[in-house]
């Protein structure tokens, strides 16, 4: 079952002599339950692609579909709702609210919509991610790996169609990187969660079921393992 599709996606910044094509005709399809890693040198377009898939930015040309819905024409409010409910985005630096407990940080997407959490789903997510004993702590009391797991749990609360991760281990040491990656793989298996991960680390990419290599704004290789 197809979850995400890009058709001819281009992203151009600037104009005239300063015009730069960050993405140059990207076509991509991602199915339910896939674990894909995107690699490429700095400036290859991988982060721009993730931002467009998450409706953080709009493409200059082309279309992006999430569960069959074209998201390229959404306004700012609609894009924010999409990121809250359909697309979970996790960045390198966690973006947790320091004055709220881990529990409240994780539940924030639901609290913003004034919805009650499904307790079974909440319990399963925090157990799978190994932070069930940290729920009443503040983010500053957690290790980097634990904070990243809390950010992943928050992104999963709405059962998003796809989980987008931008260098999720880039700010972690080797031990915490391994733990976060193991938790992602477990979530991918336990929840059938579709994962689209950007990384500069080839060792991490090799853990994925599919490796997409980008260069100069294009997909150079797309290998299923």
Task: Give Cβ neighbours of residue 134 (< 8 Å, ≥ 6 apart).
Answer: 102, 141, 142, 146, 150
13 pLDDT exceeds 90? Answer: yes
Is 10 inside any structural domain? no
Can you name the residues that pair with 219 across neighbouring β-strands? 214
pTM: 0.89
The pLDDT > 70 percentage for the chain reads 100
Pairing of strands 20-31, 61-66: unpaired
pLDDT band at 4 (very low <50, low <70, confident <90, very high): very high
Sequence-ordered strand ranges (E) for the chain? 2-13, 20-31, 35-39, 61-66, 69-70, 87-90, 162-166, 195-198, 210-215, 218-224
pLDDT given at position 29: 96
Is 65 inside any structural domain? no
pLDDT given at position 15: 82
Is 69 inside any structural domain? no
pLDDT given at position 173: 83
Is 3 inside any structural domain? no
Rg of the chain's alpha carbons, rounded to an integer? 17
**pLDDT tens digits, 145-204:** 899 889 999 998 888 889 999 988 887 888 878 888 888 888 888 888 899 999 988 888
Is 4 inside any structural domain? no
**pLDDT tens digits, 26-56:** 999 999 999 999 999 988 999 999 999 999 9
CA 197 – CA 46 distance, rounded (Å) = 10
pLDDT given at position 171: 79
- Our count of domains for the chain comes to 1
The pLDDT > 90 percentage for the chain reads 61
Query: What's 36's DSSP letter?
Result: E
Phi first, then psi, for residue 151 (nearest 5°) are -65, -40
Is 13 inside any structural domain? no
pLDDT given at position 205: 92
Instruction: Work out the mean pLDDT of the chain and round it to a whole number.
Output: 91
CA distances from 160 to 39, 69, 75, 148, 163 (A): 23, 14, 20, 17, 7
**pLDDT tens digits, 125-146:** 898 888 999 999 999 999 988 9
Residue 190 sits in a domain whose CATH number is 3.40.50.300
Q: Are 194 and 75 in contact (CB under 8 A)?
A: no
Parent domain of 187: 33-58+74-224
Is 142 inside any structural domain? yes
CA 141 – CA 68 distance, rounded (Å) = 41
124 pLDDT exceeds 80? Answer: yes
Is 28 inside any structural domain? no
């Amino acid at each position: 079952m197809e979850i995400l599709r890009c058709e001819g996606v281009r992203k151009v910044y600037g104009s005239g002599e300063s015009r730069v094509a960050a993405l140059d005709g990207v076509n991509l399809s991602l199915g339910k339950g896939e674990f894909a890693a995107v690699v490429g040198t700095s400036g290859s377009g991988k982060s721009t692609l993730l931002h467009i898939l998450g409706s953080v930015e709009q493409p200059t040309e082309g279309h992006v579909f999430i569960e069959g819905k074209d998201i390229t024409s959404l306004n700012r409010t609609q894009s924010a709702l999409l990121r809250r409910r359909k697309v979970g985005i996790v960045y390198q630096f966690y973006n947790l609210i320091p004055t709220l407990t881990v529990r409240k940080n994780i539940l924030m997407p639901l609290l913003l919509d004034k919805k009650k959490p499904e307790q079974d789903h909440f319990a399963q997510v925090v157990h799978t991610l190994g932070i069930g004993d940290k729920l009443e702590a503040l983010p500053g009391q957690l290790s980097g790996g634990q904070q990243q797991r809390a950010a992943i749990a928050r992104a999963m609360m709405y059962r998003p169609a796809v989980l987008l991760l931008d260098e999720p281990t880039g700010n972690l040491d080797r031990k915490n990187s391994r733990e976060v990656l193991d938790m992602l793989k477990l979530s991918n298996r336990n929840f059938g969660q579709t994962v689209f991960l950007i990384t500069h680390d080839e060792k991490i990419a090799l853990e994925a079921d599919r490796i997409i290599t980008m260069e100069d704004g294009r997909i150079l290789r797309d290998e299923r393992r």
